[in-house]
Amino acid sequence: MRTRKKLDRIPEEFGTYEEAADFWEKHDSADYVDLLEDVEIDVNLPERHYVIGLDKKTAELLLNKAQERGIKPNRLASELLQKTLTRSK
């Protein structure tokens, strides 16, 4: 017959991420599977972001054109790249 080991109580709420990390570093979540409950979450993964080096003149042109159109520079850069790349197929 298997005996269940005494488990530490999972805190109702952790004060910080560090406290949560410390607790789960010392405890195996598999030991608590009977206490856990399923939850549904909506996930909206953001677009990918890339760092692209621009010379000063190009960066200024991009910023100015974006301001003229009332959009963010990264949106304009994305639109311009997409147009250029799809046109060159």
Convert the pLDDT of each residue in 59-88 to its tens digit: 999 999 999 999 999 999 999 999 999 986
On whether residue 5 sits in a domain, the answer given is: no
Q: Tens of pLDDT along 5-63?
A: 788 899 989 999 999 999 999 999 999 998 888 999 998 888 788 899 999 999 999 99
**What pLDDT score was predicted for residue 1?**
55
Tokens linked to 88: 């060159």
On whether residue 32 sits in a domain, the answer given is: no
DSSP string, 23-84: HHHHS-GGGGTTT---------PPPP-------HHHHHHHHHHHHHHTS-HHHHHHHHHHHH
d(CA 27, CA 20): 11
Domain count, the chain: 1
On whether residue 28 sits in a domain, the answer given is: no
On whether residue 81 sits in a domain, the answer given is: yes
On whether residue 76 sits in a domain, the answer given is: yes
pTM beyond cutoff 0.85: no
Range of the domain at 77: 56-87
**What pLDDT score was predicted for residue 84?**
92
